[in-house]
Amino acid sequence: MTTSDLNKTPHDVLDQVFGYSNFRLSQEEVISHVLRGEDCLVLMPTGAGKSLCYQVPALCLDGLSIVVSPLIALMADQVQALRAAGVHAAALNSSMPSEEQGQVMAAARRGELKLLYLAPERLLLEGTKEFLRTLPISLLAVDEAHCVSAWGHDFRPEYLRISEIRDLLGPVPCIALTATADEPTRKEIIEKLRLRGAHSFVTGFDRPNIQYRIALKDRGREQLLSFLKAEHPRDAGIVYCISRKSVEQTAAFLKGNGFHALPYHAGLPAEERNANQRRFLDEEGVVVVATIAFGMGIDKSNVRFVAHLDLPKSIEAYYQETGRAGRDGLASTAWMVYGLNDIARQRMMIEQSDASDDKKSLEHRKLNALLGLCETSSCRRAVLLNYFGGEAAETCGNCDTCLVPVQTWEGTVEAQQALSCVYRTGERFGVQYLTEVLRGETSERMERLGHDKLKVFGLGTSHSKDEWTSIFRQLVASGHATVLLDSYGGLALTEKSRSVLKGQTPVWFRSDVLAPRSKKKRPSSGTSLNTQFTSKENELWETLRSTRLKLAKASHVPPYVIFHDATLKEMTQLKPRTLDELRQVSGVGDKKLERYGREFLEAIETVLSTSD
């Protein structure tokens, strides 16, 4: 930025630098607030556009803006994206060669930088403080501000000392940003960062472009394959598995079926792990199959799906992991399959950990909340938003239960029969055996144990094996029965079983629909971007993607730094033929038009001038 750019309005910056025509959500309010010189806390979900809340003011204000950010990878991504848009931004962190650090500092001294990203530990070095004292600083932005919370999962002790920098800088406005902070954490942020006026901007947690779907696990990998083939054949996405072994197997399986799938888990050599992460970021259509070790600091905007082959630990984990889909605001899918075994395994993992009893019981409760989400017959989004204390409409129209309403049935009698069968066989058998007893399918073992003489023997012939399996799973999920932790899936009664057995609590079940058998009612998701395109547009879309990839390789940046998917999608639909028309496309600012405009126009010309 040169001096002639100073005193631009936020709208000018939004349009000319970022190529967007409208602010989103509360961006504009936040920006005006900051430009008035006031502090604030901004709470917005991932992908909502927090970065612009400080980047736009930074470009409107005179002087340099400091951004504190905890992850070096994230910092590098931001700087890259800003530079591609022609903004003079840089980062200072310990992973850089000292010569490069010297260059950045020199550029800052010469007044050539608008944004400087710093890791918190760096900020607190005496040398850095001295250096900052000499600069005309206009704004302090603290990203991932929840890191100040000692109770949170991302605690960074250095964040507690950011207030020292505030003393040093004097009355410059401070903007703190985060996507995850409950009420106590928000208070903590305001206190620890000493935000004057304690003003918060809170935007809802909803991610309307993500379609939530949870199905019963039948043959998980096959289900995943059908889902990917049908809806995301060439898209980038993440598949989460619980163990390293299933990561390896699933990656190999997808690869064998023509997908560009790569494994990622803590057991892989660091070079391989980093290389796979790099390819996910830099190439198109890569599917990473990973344990939860993957994702923190992944800022890829066009992740089109997040699939869970195994159950996560909590709604928080589920929401954080699925939240990596669709940062660009385009339609994306959060897909999960789960079954009784997942519940047993998660319970076992909690019990076998070294955590204190209090912590274990908290973790069991968190798992219960997640099971409630899995088994709900009402809107998934409503359950999620209510969990985070937000308000939600009763139906969202973009989750499986809204798209294909779940049938429920009153099954108090069946619940009693099932629980009584658990009780009378001694609270140690698994679902398969219990179902055999209920259906009167005798065996040598059953006769030996005398279970063919029980009152419950043969009581349940009107339900199929699958139906009983579903009943038992739902009883476990709702806490009316529990999986024994020291056996192979044996069930036992719980405190809550009694009121069902006594007939005091009516029990309702969902009618399970096994995915492969319910073809006729598949939700029409429109998730795959290409479904809305004509065949010509499909060709154009693919050509634009390869143009982007070529440019990205040439300048050693990930493709989305050139243009986001949303921008290419709009190009495909608007089919601009001149630079002026191209400039109208959302995401095309002045600098990017100048740098990449011609190449994209040529690509469009080539496709449109050939006949079908």
| Interface with ligand ADP (CB under 6 A) | 20, 22-24, 27, 44, 46-52, 301, 327-328, 564, 586
In the bound state with ligand ADP, the residue whose beta carbon lies nearer, of 68 and 262, is 68
Question: Can you tell me the distance from the alpha carbon of 30 to that of 56, in angstroms, rounded to the nearest whole number?
Answer: 10
- To Zn ion, the closest distance from the beta carbon of 286 in angstroms equals 30
Taking the C-alpha atoms of residue 137 and residue 63, their distance in angstroms, rounded to an integer, is: 6
Three-class SS of residue 611?
coil
* Contact of residue 220 among Zn ion, ligand ADP, none (CB under 5-8 Å per partner type): none
Q: Name the residue nearer to ligand ADP (CB basis): 27 or 469.
A: 27
In whole angstroms, the minimum distance from the beta carbon of 283 to ligand ADP comes to 19
Strands 508-510 and 408-410: antiparallel
Residue nearer to ligand ADP on the CB measure, 14 or 481: 14
Q: Between the CA atoms of 296, 298, 304 and 310, what dihedral angle is there, to the nearest 10 degrees?
A: -20
Distance, CA of 14 to CA of 31 (rounded, Å): 11
- Dihedrals phi, psi of 583, to nearest 5 degrees: -65, -20
Residues 342-401 that bind Zn ion (CB under 5 A): 379, 381, 396, 399
> Least Å distance between CB 564 and ligand ADP?
5
CA angle, 486 then 491 then 496, to 5°: 115
Complex with ligand ADP: residue 140 or 585, whichever CB lies closer: 585
> Considering CB under 5 A, how many residues would be counted as binding Zn ion?
5
**Cα→Cα distances 71→178, 501, 526, Å:** 14, 53, 34
50 binds, among Zn ion, ligand ADP, none (CB under 5 to 8 A by kind): ligand ADP
Give me the amino acid identity at 110. R
Among 551, 553, 556, 555, CA closest to 567: 551
Cβ nearer to Zn ion, comparing 208 with 285: 208
CA-to-CA dists, residue 413 to 266, 418, 502, 510, angstroms:
47, 9, 11, 15
Helix or strand holding residue 363 (H, E): helix 357-375
Residue (402 or 418) nearer to Zn ion, CB? 402
CB of 329 to ligand ADP, least distance (A): 6
Please report, as residue ranges, which positions from 111 to 140 form the binding site for Zn ion (by CB under 5 A).
none
Would you state the structure tokens that stand for residue 595, as one six-digit string? 């740098």
**Cβ 523 to Zn ion shortest distance, Å:** 11
Nearer Cβ to Zn ion, position 402 or 552? 402
Rounded to the nearest whole angstrom, what is the least distance from the CB of residue 59 to ligand ADP in the complex?
14
Q: What CA–CA distance (Å, rounded) separates 550 from 169?
A: 43
Selection from ligand ADP, Zn ion, none that 280 binds (CB < 5 to 8 A by kind) is: none
Residue 314 contact among Zn ion, ligand ADP, none, beta carbon within 5 to 8 Å by kind: none
Q: Which does 327 bind (CB under 5 to 8 A by kind): ligand ADP, Zn ion, none?
A: ligand ADP
Interaction site with Zn ion (CB under 5 A): 379, 381, 396, 399, 402
